[in-house]
Structure 1
């Protein structure tokens, strides 16, 4: 599956507007601030709206309501605080660094992506792709998800000390990888197109991997990605109906490991500590790290991050240029 190319950003031609849009769903009118361009350490006393195809870059901004990013829009927020939720439409992009979002983050079907770094949010949802032509991504680094992560499309990677305080579940993603992170609930990865990697991480609840293509790798010495160590699993781990290979290396499993109906049979290294034993078919584990990864997954480590960086840079530069134009 070829990597999705970076979508072209719409040209931003105005600064953050001073205008507000009044809407009246009931007897009381709600104010909505439209954001085009750049904004600083101010408080938005209502909802924030990024219009379709526009870019908004905020630094130190407090938003007391909800945020909507319309189709093709971009929101880059640094050091911000959102009291409500953030919803991102098709081909929309959210980039939040050192930012707190009290409510949920929802990426619509065909949403371009969401990148969270040093952030704190409520539940995070990536809608299934459906008939959309864009496949999404969710990249999370050094962040806390106060709730669940539920993804139905695209590339999903949690990294660098990220914490999910409830469950992490994905179905039909391109891949789901967890590096150096903590899931305080169950982990479920189903029907991933190029498999899943979990390295240097801890999962407190049940872990289920089923119907994945392109392999499942728990710990180092697998075919998909490079990593230094395995992980800790607080309950049973089940890996079933997987094609492309299963490797389980350098893990502590405080439960039973089930490896059934995998093709080829799972390789379970002798250095694992598995309290409840192993059920299913096993092949002899190799002791040599594999360096040749398949072409389909060779760029999984940085492909999504490169797309996020490209869109972040473009959105920020366009918004800044629009703001400078009025000086």
Structure 2
């Protein structure tokens, strides 16, 4: 299995106090339910709030409003439904499995991360890191995103049958990888510090990779990650101003491939089928397969470990705190 994720889902010190139910009116006289602890298959008829530094673990819960996770808080939802949006503050964490989120998911600057598995959500936004010290992450597996994915910090991986119904835009991340997934719109990866890998995936719209320092790998046989196959690209693909190496292997591109201003020159294998031809500088034919080396073995497994560690800690301490009176 591909393993490129740098250790991110490492530790969490989620402190869960006694279960609390507090209701407060907003400017519109709406109610807010505070959650600390665990909750089951009940309906929360208003917004849900996880206080700073606390953990809330919900199973089969329906939330009819919006959800806010305060700084340092943790929200783990399994088999749930959120009618509105989910906003996660600095050092906050969202873990949603087999869950539907009707609105968007927003991770604030310095947010710890978001892990979605077998989930369905609206748009996803990860804010720029700014002056914070925490590198965020967004890991999405076997999920559907009905809006845009816009990420501007940390580690990004779309994997295992994930579908994005609109566009994916990544700027200034640590890396942005797409494995075995489908993007119905465009894909843009700009200024990533350790590059981008796209394997076994389909992108219907334009694809742009530019200014990535760690390289770009489209398909197998590259130096960044191990994977079994290339992908399908419905329109033009552009890889420019990239350092660290560019490899394009085993892809079908129903448009033109542009590879300019890359250092070293791009390696474009003969087994690609490129309808519009190739424009730009390429390495010699003998070098196109020279990147067949052992890929780093830390990315995906370490990332999953980081998510699992924080999830396990949050759930265990939420259970220890007792049932939240939702």
> Cα offset for 1:30?
1.4
Q: Which runs of 5+ in 2 are unaligned?
A: 1-5
Matched, 1:80 2:80: yes
Distance in 2 separating the partners of 1:11 and 1:148: 33
Query: What SS class does the counterpart of residue 291 from structure 1 fall into?
Result: coil
* Residue in structure 1 matched with residue 25 of structure 2 by the alignment: 23
CA root-mean-square deviation:
1.8
Mapping for residues 230-241 of structure 1, pairs under 5 Å: 230-241=230-241
* Residue in structure 2 matched with residue 291 of structure 1 by the alignment: 293
Distance in 1 separating the partners of 2:92 and 2:266: 39
Distance in 2 separating the partners of 1:10 and 1:160: 29
Distance in 1 separating the partners of 2:67 and 2:323: 24
Distance in 2 separating the partners of 1:193 and 1:159: 20
Distance in 2 separating the partners of 1:228 and 1:105: 31
Query: What SS class does the counterpart of residue 307 from structure 1 fall into?
Result: helix
Deviations 1:227-264 (A, max 9, x none): 00000000000000000000000000000000000000
> Cα offset for 1:130?
0.3
* Residue in structure 2 matched with residue 254 of structure 1 by the alignment: 254
Query: What SS class does the counterpart of residue 283 from structure 1 fall into?
Result: coil
Mapping for residues 18-167 of structure 1, pairs under 5 Å: 19-25=21-27, 28-167=28-167
> Cα offset for 1:306?
1.4
Aligned partners of 1:20 and 1:31 also within 8 Å = no
* Residue in structure 1 matched with residue 269 of structure 2 by the alignment: 269
Deviations 1:23-59 (A, max 9, x none): 231xx42110000000000000000000000000000
Q: Give the TM-score normalised by structure 2.
A: 0.94
* Residue in structure 1 matched with residue 306 of structure 2 by the alignment: 307
* Residue in structure 2 matched with residue 10 of structure 1 by the alignment: 14
Q: Which runs of 5+ in 1 are unaligned?
A: none
Distance in 2 separating the partners of 1:193 and 1:70: 29
Q: 1:261 to 1:298 in 2, by over 3 A?
A: farther
Deviations 1:277-326 (A, max 9, x none): 00000002443563344xxx652222322111110010011111111799
Deviations 1:45-81 (A, max 9, x none): 0000000000000000000000000000000000000
**Bigger RCO of structures 1 and 2 (CA < 8 A, at least 6 apart):** 2
> Cα offset for 1:143?
0.2
Distance in 2 separating the partners of 1:163 and 1:11: 35
Query: What SS class does the counterpart of residue 317 from structure 1 fall into?
Result: helix
> Cα offset for 1:14?
1.1
> Cα offset for 1:11?
1.9
